[in-house]
Amino acid sequence: MRIAFKISMVSILVVDDEKIIRDGCTRILGKEGWAVQTANSGEDGLRLLQEEPFDLLLLDLKMPGLSGMEVLQRVRDLRPELLVVIITGYATVESAVEAMKAGAYDFVSKPFLPDQLRIVVRRALEKKALQREADLLRQERAKGLREIAGEKSKIKTIIHCMADGVLVTDHEGRVVLHNPALVRMLKMEISPPLGHALDDGLENDCWRGFVRRIRETTEGSTVSQEVVVGDLTLMAHIAPVRSEEGETLGSVTVLRDISMLKAIDRMKSDFVAMVSHELRAPLSSVEQQLSVILAGILGEVNNRQQEMLGRAKERTHALLALINDLLDLSKIEAGFVVQHKEPVQITEVLEKVVELLKPQAAAKNIALTLSLPEILPQVMMDRGNMEEVFINLVSNGIKYTPERGSVELFVRVQGSHLCAEVADNGMGISSEDLPRIFDKFYRVKNAQTRKITGTGLGLPIVKRIVEAHLGTVEVESQPGNGSKFRVYLPLEPSAKGGA
């Protein structure tokens, strides 16, 4: 391999007491385009070496004054990287070998032919170029490693200083990384050991659900879940980590302390609950009195009065519905939900809801059907709360489906969950509205929904109750193509098999 080196940059020093050698070298090497300087003694040579960065030193061993060997030793201290080629007579080949042992690179014997000198010098310069290249590579590598090490410690420092808790697990749920905020927020006595799965044996439903979510997230999509640990309420955002090829590598969980927000929210809820409660009694009384008048008990009511009082009663009724929903939500937000958990056959809940809402469906000629598999496992739930969930979903299906449509209920076991679906073939929901329908008071406003009354609190109630059961609710819908609301409830580990 021929190594490229910049000829213009090559400078050579020849140290020899014989003028004929100095002149010969200057002539032969000068013809190659290399810059040559000479010195007639070791002392002179060393002085020049201190002044200029030569690439190569041609050094005579036998000189009066400082010998070549002594010069060589000083050069090793002064410029250890400088290549030295020894010029020696036949009689001193042995000392040339000694010089090479002392660090010289090569030697050329006097008298030499121009080509012999050229070959030796060229070989030395090639070696020098190789050396330079290797040095550069070494420096680059060292720089790269330094940068990587720097980046690593930078990321580590940032994660350690974060106020939010961070937890990274691998594809088998083993802990890969965590920060002090996580340990503090989860009130752990010792940090979770790296390389081990998180302990889900703790007697805390929330914690168990959270650990299960972390495992499941490696298979699914991002989830957000509240976790209560002692007096803290934490919001856990759990996201899967995927490689460029889409392979799941593990999960990243970020925990945020939302206790303060929760406290403020609770104060707001308490206030709303108090106001709603105070309003409910007088409003109910107004509604009752309007009913009495409209029934003609207090005397005849003419058509015009009927119409106006009828509208007033309708409005009062809507207000009472809103107040009842607000009170329901306040109760749920205050934690009065899932009070009586027991093993329940969801079939019983759904059959009751269908029975209750049949008249509402019949009034619109809507076919309300329930399809159930033969065997279904029982699920731990609060029966009353779960009825409320499906009353909301089914009555929405009826409300937002035009006459002669259909609302169907299906149930199946899906992995570690029971999935109950309410599917209608009604007006559907646009992709802009979909992410917001579970927000409090959010109602879709368009020509189709204008005449439909509601409070915008039904779905938030559904979501909170389902989440209090450690479940999830999802929706799939397109305008004009109906909607499917799916409620997933976790099965007890032994219940997966059925019966």
The residue ranges that bind ligand ADP (CB under 6 A) are 392, 396-397, 400, 424, 426-429, 437, 442-444, 449, 454-459, 483
In this structure, the strands spanning 232-242 and 223-229 are: antiparallel
Q: Which is nearer to ligand ADP, 328 or 424 (CB)?
A: 424
Beta carbon of residue 345, minimum distance to ligand ADP (angstroms, whole number):
25
Beta carbon of residue 286, minimum distance to ligand ADP (angstroms, whole number):
22
Beta carbon of residue 448, minimum distance to ligand ADP (angstroms, whole number):
9
Beta carbon of residue 476, minimum distance to ligand ADP (angstroms, whole number):
11
Q: Which is nearer to ligand ADP, 253 or 425 (CB)?
A: 425
Q: Which is nearer to ligand ADP, 131 or 371 (CB)?
A: 371
d(CA 253, CA 237): 6
Beta carbon of residue 320, minimum distance to ligand ADP (angstroms, whole number):
14
Q: Which is nearer to ligand ADP, 214 or 391 (CB)?
A: 391
Q: Which is nearer to ligand ADP, 316 or 483 (CB)?
A: 483
d(CA 360, CA 473): 24
Beta carbon of residue 284, minimum distance to ligand ADP (angstroms, whole number):
20
Beta carbon of residue 465, minimum distance to ligand ADP (angstroms, whole number):
13
Beta carbon of residue 154, minimum distance to ligand ADP (angstroms, whole number):
46
Beta carbon of residue 281, minimum distance to ligand ADP (angstroms, whole number):
23
Beta carbon of residue 393, minimum distance to ligand ADP (angstroms, whole number):
7
Cis peptide, bond prior to residue 111, ω within 30 of zero = yes
Q: Which is nearer to ligand ADP, 217 or 455 (CB)?
A: 455
Q: Which is nearer to ligand ADP, 294 or 354 (CB)?
A: 354
Beta carbon of residue 477, minimum distance to ligand ADP (angstroms, whole number):
7
Burial of 8 (0-12, 13-18, 19+ CB in 10 A): exposed
Q: Which is nearer to ligand ADP, 338 or 457 (CB)?
A: 457
CB neighbours of residue 390 within 10 Å = 23
CB neighbours of residue 292 within 10 Å = 11
Q: Which is nearer to ligand ADP, 259 or 269 (CB)?
A: 269
Backbone angles phi, psi at 422, to 5 degrees: -115, 110
Q: Which is nearer to ligand ADP, 34 or 485 (CB)?
A: 485
Q: Which is nearer to ligand ADP, 146 or 436 (CB)?
A: 436
